[in-house]
Amino acid sequence: MSPETRQRGDLIDELVTDHREVEQAFADYERGGLSDEQRRSLVDHIITELVRHSVAEEQYLYPAARQTLPDGAELADHEIAEHAEAEELMKRLEGLNPTDADFDHLTRQLIDEVRHHVEEEERDLFPRLKQACTREQLDELGDKITSAKKVAPTRPHPSAPDRPPANMLLDPGVGLIDRMRDALSHRGR
Protein backbone atom coordinates (compact mmCIF):
# COMPACT_ATOMS: atom_id res chain seq x y z
CA MET A 1 0.00 0.00 0.00
CA SER A 2 1.42 3.38 -0.91
CA PRO A 3 1.89 6.10 1.70
CA GLU A 4 -0.73 8.16 -0.15
CA THR A 5 -3.49 5.54 0.21
CA ARG A 6 -3.02 4.17 3.71
CA GLN A 7 -4.37 5.90 6.78
CA ARG A 8 -1.77 8.03 8.49
CA GLY A 9 -0.41 6.97 11.83
CA ASP A 10 1.97 8.34 14.36
CA LEU A 11 5.73 8.25 13.94
CA ILE A 12 6.08 4.68 15.16
CA ASP A 13 3.08 3.36 13.21
CA GLU A 14 4.45 4.87 9.99
CA LEU A 15 7.93 3.46 10.43
CA VAL A 16 6.76 0.01 11.55
CA THR A 17 4.45 -0.15 8.52
CA ASP A 18 7.45 0.64 6.32
CA HIS A 19 9.42 -2.11 8.06
CA ARG A 20 6.69 -4.69 7.42
CA GLU A 21 6.38 -3.66 3.75
CA VAL A 22 10.11 -3.95 3.09
CA GLU A 23 10.20 -7.25 4.98
CA GLN A 24 7.54 -8.54 2.57
CA ALA A 25 9.75 -7.49 -0.36
CA PHE A 26 12.70 -9.29 1.28
CA ALA A 27 10.58 -12.44 1.63
CA ASP A 28 9.54 -12.18 -2.02
CA TYR A 29 13.21 -12.01 -3.02
CA GLU A 30 14.23 -14.88 -0.75
CA ARG A 31 11.40 -17.09 -2.01
CA GLY A 32 13.21 -17.19 -5.35
CA GLY A 33 11.85 -18.28 -8.70
CA LEU A 34 12.21 -14.77 -10.15
CA SER A 35 13.62 -13.91 -13.54
CA ASP A 36 16.65 -11.63 -13.74
CA GLU A 37 14.36 -8.76 -14.72
CA GLN A 38 12.03 -9.44 -11.78
CA ARG A 39 14.97 -9.62 -9.35
CA ARG A 40 16.33 -6.30 -10.65
CA SER A 41 12.92 -4.69 -10.39
CA LEU A 42 12.36 -6.01 -6.86
CA VAL A 43 15.81 -4.88 -5.69
CA ASP A 44 15.18 -1.44 -7.24
CA HIS A 45 11.88 -1.30 -5.33
CA ILE A 46 13.62 -2.31 -2.09
CA ILE A 47 16.30 0.33 -2.62
CA THR A 48 13.71 3.02 -3.33
CA GLU A 49 11.72 2.21 -0.22
CA LEU A 50 14.78 1.94 2.01
CA VAL A 51 16.20 5.25 0.80
CA ARG A 52 12.89 7.08 1.28
CA HIS A 53 12.49 5.53 4.75
CA SER A 54 16.07 6.32 5.78
CA VAL A 55 15.82 9.92 4.64
CA ALA A 56 12.64 10.42 6.66
CA GLU A 57 14.21 8.84 9.74
CA GLU A 58 17.31 11.03 9.41
CA GLN A 59 15.16 14.14 9.09
CA TYR A 60 12.75 13.47 11.96
CA LEU A 61 13.23 10.26 13.98
CA TYR A 62 16.86 10.74 14.94
CA PRO A 63 16.54 14.44 15.78
CA ALA A 64 13.59 13.48 18.03
CA ALA A 65 15.75 10.84 19.71
CA ARG A 66 18.53 13.40 20.23
CA GLN A 67 16.08 15.84 21.83
CA THR A 68 14.10 13.48 24.05
CA LEU A 69 16.35 10.60 25.13
CA PRO A 70 19.28 10.95 27.54
CA ASP A 71 21.49 8.85 25.25
CA GLY A 72 19.70 10.00 22.11
CA ALA A 73 22.79 11.42 20.43
CA GLU A 74 24.67 8.13 20.71
CA LEU A 75 21.64 6.15 19.57
CA ALA A 76 21.08 8.44 16.59
CA ASP A 77 24.76 8.33 15.62
CA HIS A 78 24.69 4.52 15.73
CA GLU A 79 21.55 4.32 13.58
CA ILE A 80 22.92 6.84 11.06
CA ALA A 81 26.14 4.80 10.81
CA GLU A 82 24.05 1.71 10.02
CA HIS A 83 22.18 3.70 7.37
CA ALA A 84 25.50 4.71 5.81
CA GLU A 85 26.61 1.07 5.59
CA ALA A 86 23.33 0.04 3.99
CA GLU A 87 23.49 2.97 1.59
CA GLU A 88 26.95 1.90 0.42
CA LEU A 89 25.59 -1.58 -0.29
CA MET A 90 22.60 -0.12 -2.14
CA LYS A 91 24.89 2.05 -4.24
CA ARG A 92 26.96 -1.01 -5.20
CA LEU A 93 23.79 -2.98 -5.99
CA GLU A 94 22.43 -0.18 -8.12
CA GLY A 95 25.39 -0.57 -10.50
CA LEU A 96 25.15 -4.34 -10.84
CA ASN A 97 23.31 -6.48 -13.32
CA PRO A 98 21.31 -9.29 -11.65
CA THR A 99 23.51 -11.78 -13.54
CA ASP A 100 26.65 -10.41 -11.83
CA ALA A 101 28.17 -12.80 -9.31
CA ASP A 102 27.89 -10.28 -6.44
CA PHE A 103 24.24 -9.32 -7.01
CA ASP A 104 22.64 -12.02 -4.84
CA HIS A 105 25.40 -11.89 -2.24
CA LEU A 106 25.08 -8.09 -1.81
CA THR A 107 21.27 -8.28 -1.79
CA ARG A 108 21.35 -10.88 0.98
CA GLN A 109 23.91 -8.83 2.89
CA LEU A 110 21.63 -5.77 2.60
CA ILE A 111 18.65 -7.81 3.79
CA ASP A 112 20.60 -9.06 6.82
CA GLU A 113 21.85 -5.58 7.75
CA VAL A 114 18.41 -4.01 7.41
CA ARG A 115 16.76 -6.75 9.46
CA HIS A 116 19.30 -6.16 12.23
CA HIS A 117 18.68 -2.40 12.07
CA VAL A 118 14.88 -2.84 12.16
CA GLU A 119 15.09 -5.22 15.09
CA GLU A 120 17.19 -2.71 17.09
CA GLU A 121 14.81 0.16 16.35
CA GLU A 122 11.68 -1.79 17.20
CA ARG A 123 13.15 -3.39 20.34
CA ASP A 124 14.84 -0.32 21.82
CA LEU A 125 14.40 3.04 20.11
CA PHE A 126 10.68 2.98 19.30
CA PRO A 127 9.46 1.92 22.77
CA ARG A 128 11.66 4.53 24.41
CA LEU A 129 10.42 7.30 22.11
CA LYS A 130 6.83 6.21 22.69
CA GLN A 131 7.39 6.76 26.41
CA ALA A 132 9.33 10.03 26.04
CA CYS A 133 7.07 11.80 23.53
CA THR A 134 3.49 12.95 23.84
CA ARG A 135 0.76 11.57 21.58
CA GLU A 136 0.68 14.95 19.79
CA GLN A 137 4.44 14.87 19.17
CA LEU A 138 4.25 11.35 17.78
CA ASP A 139 1.30 12.27 15.54
CA GLU A 140 3.04 15.39 14.26
CA LEU A 141 6.23 13.42 13.57
CA GLY A 142 4.16 10.77 11.77
CA ASP A 143 2.77 13.47 9.45
CA LYS A 144 6.28 14.82 8.85
CA ILE A 145 7.62 11.32 8.06
CA THR A 146 4.83 10.78 5.52
CA SER A 147 5.48 14.15 3.87
CA ALA A 148 9.26 13.64 3.83
CA LYS A 149 8.94 10.27 2.05
CA LYS A 150 6.89 11.86 -0.75
CA VAL A 151 9.77 14.16 -1.78
CA ALA A 152 12.72 12.04 -0.62
CA PRO A 153 15.39 10.71 -2.95
CA THR A 154 14.71 7.28 -4.43
CA ARG A 155 18.34 6.32 -5.05
CA PRO A 156 21.27 5.99 -2.68
CA HIS A 157 23.53 9.04 -2.28
CA PRO A 158 26.17 7.93 0.23
CA SER A 159 27.98 11.27 0.31
CA ALA A 160 24.82 13.35 0.86
CA PRO A 161 24.32 14.99 4.28
CA ASP A 162 22.42 12.82 6.77
CA ARG A 163 21.62 15.42 9.46
CA PRO A 164 19.46 18.54 9.65
CA PRO A 165 19.48 21.19 8.47
CA ALA A 166 21.57 20.26 5.39
CA ASN A 167 19.65 17.07 4.57
CA MET A 168 16.29 18.84 4.91
CA LEU A 169 17.41 21.50 2.45
CA LEU A 170 18.99 19.19 -0.13
CA ASP A 171 16.89 16.00 0.00
CA PRO A 172 13.79 17.39 -1.80
CA GLY A 173 15.86 18.62 -4.75
CA VAL A 174 17.79 15.38 -4.99
CA GLY A 175 14.47 13.52 -4.73
CA LEU A 176 13.06 15.48 -7.65
CA ILE A 177 16.10 14.63 -9.78
CA ASP A 178 15.88 10.95 -8.75
CA ARG A 179 12.19 10.75 -9.67
CA MET A 180 12.96 12.34 -13.07
CA ARG A 181 15.73 9.76 -13.61
CA ASP A 182 13.37 6.98 -12.53
CA ALA A 183 10.75 8.12 -15.03
CA LEU A 184 13.25 8.41 -17.89
CA SER A 185 14.76 5.00 -17.18
CA HIS A 186 11.37 3.37 -16.46
CA ARG A 187 12.69 2.30 -13.05
CA GLY A 188 9.97 1.13 -10.72
CA ARG A 189 7.53 0.12 -13.43
Domain assignment of residue 64, yes or no? yes
* Cα 152 from chain centre: 10
Q: Is the Cα dihedral 19, 22, 27, 30 positive or negative?
A: negative
As a whole-number percent, the residues of the chain with pLDDT over 70 amount to 95
Q: Is residue 1 part of a domain?
A: no
User: Cis before residue 165, ω within 30 degrees of 0?
Assistant: yes
Q: What average pLDDT does this structure show over 165-185?
A: 85
The per-residue pLDDT for range 70-125, each reduced to its tens digit, is 999 999 999 999 999 999 999 999 999 999 999 999 999 999 999 999 999 999 99
- Whether residue 2 lies inside any domain: the answer is no
- Domain presence at residue 5: no
Predicted TM-score of the model (pTM)? 0.91
Is 3 a domain residue?
Answer: no
- Asked if 15 and 126 touch (Cβ cutoff 8 Å), the reply is yes
Domain range for residue 126?
11-185
What 87-93 contacts at long range (C-beta under 8 Å, 24+ apart), as own/partner pairs, is 87/51, 87/54, 87/156, 87/157, 87/158, 88/156, 88/158, 89/113, 90/47, 90/50, 90/51, 90/156, 91/156, 91/158, 93/43, 93/47
More confident residue, 2 or 108: 108
Q: Is the dihedral of CA 24, 35, 107, 80 positive or negative?
A: negative
pLDDT at position 151 is 95
Structural domain total, the chain: 1
